[in-house]
Structure 1
Amino acid sequence: MKRSGIAALLVLTALCMGCAGTRPGPEAAAASQALKHETYTLGGKQPDAMLVALHYSGATPAFWHEFLKDWGAPVRVLLPQGPNPRREGFTWVPTDHEQKDEAAKTADLEQMAERVAQLIREARRAHPELRRVAVTGFSYGGDLAWLLAIRYPDLVDAAAPMGSRLLGEPAQALPDTRRVLVLHGEADAIIDFQKTVARVEALKARGVPIELRGYPDLGHDMSPQLIEDWRTFLRQQLSGTAHGQEPGDAR
């Protein structure tokens, strides 16, 4: 080996050793897992409610802008971005997600739900005025919204998953004040509406505070009527006036 080649190898070895000696600690590792996101307020500088909206696979947080611009009530918006590139946007799951069995799919979503939950925790720490939080999403985003509702009832008050599979089981009995409204096209060729009907009925029989609203002739998509129902439900839940609660009630 030429002298210049040996010198280069020694330099590379020294650099690698230096890297090994300065490996990131737990805080740096956690920061590297933080999801990119947008957050802003509508209708006021310090609203006491926050809406977390999770885009579908192949989209970006900008997907939600047109649905939020006429929200009509004070709210903080948190729009996370999926970490994995897909088509012109991003997704929440690995590329082999659809080839996995139900347990493995649920595990993928649970790992991602924890990352979104961490964003919600950080937002609540940064904005102590927040009293109520709702999550929503479509398709894989809806899968995540559902898991956040059943796994993190300490963080989430209401959820509106759309076109979602409802994978996973509640980790504990949900408080009576929590509400989940599932919105689903009855002609959905990707996620069978009848399976969603059976799933919701089974959950209701176990005391889960969940309701289903179907939309005839709607596929794996969103319609003007669905969006109107979605907005009405979430605004009501975030106002704190649903089910006898008062606005601004602390937990």
Structure 2
Amino acid sequence: MKPLVTTALILLTLLEASCATTLPGPGAVNTAPPLSYETYALGAEKPEALLVALHSSGSTPESWDASVKALDIAVRVVLPRGSRPRREGFTWFPEDHEKKDGAGKTADVERVAAQLADLIREVRRAHPEIRRVAVTGFSYGGDLAWMLALRHPELVEVAVPMGTRLLGEPARSLPPAHRVLVLQGEEDAIIPVQQTLARVADLKAVGVPIDVRTYPGVGHDAAPQLVEDWQVFLRQVLQAP
């Protein structure tokens, strides 16, 4: 399926900030570099569903093209790009991100998630027909997809984070109609599957509408069965009345 709207590259300078445990205060400035993104529509001129797909570290937005076009549904796609060059692609967080403790990592993710939240608002202002928003991502992109669902439930109804650490604690309740599905390889050497299972169980216990699917023999990778389940789930939630 070919895009029905010409791709546009839009540069946003975003001025929200956040910290590890609180939301941005008045007048706070987000010091993370500005983000750019690409957007196009599939299946209709004005789709009512929006899918924001976030690439992994060292990758590019274009890595999502084949998967999102294979959804074969009416959807507007937004593909943000991490602001920091890494290897052959881009990344989202500073070089010292992995050296930080849990609070420091969470703060990094919250800062970029605040930028992405503004990006979603910008897209929705330009396309007021949008009624449902889903976010997804792998690895660092998965961390951001989860943080958007956690910190910005007024913007995001559905999240599919993959290979994620699920950083941050709920500061408020997520609406029960929201959906979060975590996809995780059981042989992931970066994100241990038992850690993910325990984290999801803890979140469910406090009322977060979250589920997890794991995949035997799959590492820190988007294996074919994982991608197929990702597509089936998104088709269902993005086409729901």
TM over 0.5: yes
Q: Residue 133 of structure 1 aligns to a residue in which SS?
A: strand
Q: Where does residue 141 of structure 2 map in the other structure?
A: 141
Q: Residue 56 of structure 1 aligns to a residue in which SS?
A: coil
Residue 62 of structure 2 corresponds to residue 54 of structure 1: no
Q: Where does residue 13 of structure 1 map in the other structure?
A: none
Between stretches 67-76 and 97-106, larger displacement belongs to 67-76
Q: Where does residue 84 of structure 1 map in the other structure?
A: 84
Contact 2:158 2:179 in 1 (8 A): yes
Q: Residue 110 of structure 1 aligns to a residue in which SS?
A: helix
How far apart are residue 40 of structure 1 and its match?
0.1
Contact 2:33 2:83 in 1 (8 A): no
Contact 2:34 2:83 in 1 (8 A): no
Measured in 2, the distance between the counterparts of 1:40 and 1:171 equals: 33
Q: Where does residue 126 of structure 1 map in the other structure?
A: 126
Consecutive aligned runs of 4 or more in structure 1 exceeding 3 Å deviation = none
Q: Where does residue 20 of structure 1 map in the other structure?
A: none
- Which structure has greater helix proportion? 1
Measured in 1, the distance between the counterparts of 2:175 and 2:166 equals: 19
Contact 2:135 2:160 in 1 (8 A): yes
Measured in 1, the distance between the counterparts of 2:223 and 2:199 equals: 23
Measured in 2, the distance between the counterparts of 1:70 and 1:184 equals: 21
Measured in 2, the distance between the counterparts of 1:167 and 1:71 equals: 28
State the Cα deviation string for residues 156-207 of structure 1 (Å, max 9, x = none).
0000000000000122101011000000000000111100000000001111
How far apart are residue 33 of structure 1 and its match?
5.1
Q: Residue 35 of structure 2 aligns to a residue in which SS?
A: coil
Residue 204 of structure 2 corresponds to residue 204 of structure 1: yes
Q: Where does residue 101 of structure 2 map in the other structure?
A: 101
User: Greater Rg, structure 1 or structure 2?
Assistant: 1
Aligned residues: 213
Q: Where does residue 170 of structure 1 map in the other structure?
A: 170
Measured in 2, the distance between the counterparts of 1:47 and 1:170 equals: 31
Q: Which runs of 5+ in 1 are unaligned?
A: 1-25, 242-246
Measured in 2, the distance between the counterparts of 1:42 and 1:33 equals: 29
How far apart are residue 119 of structure 1 and its match?
0.5
- Which structure has greater strand proportion? 2
Q: Residue 164 of structure 2 aligns to a residue in which SS?
A: coil
Measured in 2, the distance between the counterparts of 1:97 and 1:80 equals: 20
Q: Where do residues 1-251 of structure 1 align in structure 2 (5 Å cutoff)?
A: 34-239=34-239, 241=240, 247=241
Measured in 2, the distance between the counterparts of 1:179 and 1:48 equals: 18
Q: Where does residue 23 of structure 1 map in the other structure?
A: none
Measured in 1, the distance between the counterparts of 2:53 and 2:35 equals: 13
Measured in 2, the distance between the counterparts of 1:80 and 1:62 equals: 10
How far apart are residue 227 of structure 1 and its match?
0.5
Q: Identity, % of aligned pairs?
A: 62
> Given residue 193 of structure 1, which amino acid in structure 2 is its aligned partner?
V
Contact 1:33 1:115 in 2 (8 A): no
State the Cα deviation string for residues 26-76 of structure 1 (Å, max 9, x = none).
8xx99x954111100000100000000000000110010111122111000
Contact 2:53 2:80 in 1 (8 A): yes
Measured in 2, the distance between the counterparts of 1:91 and 1:166 equals: 18
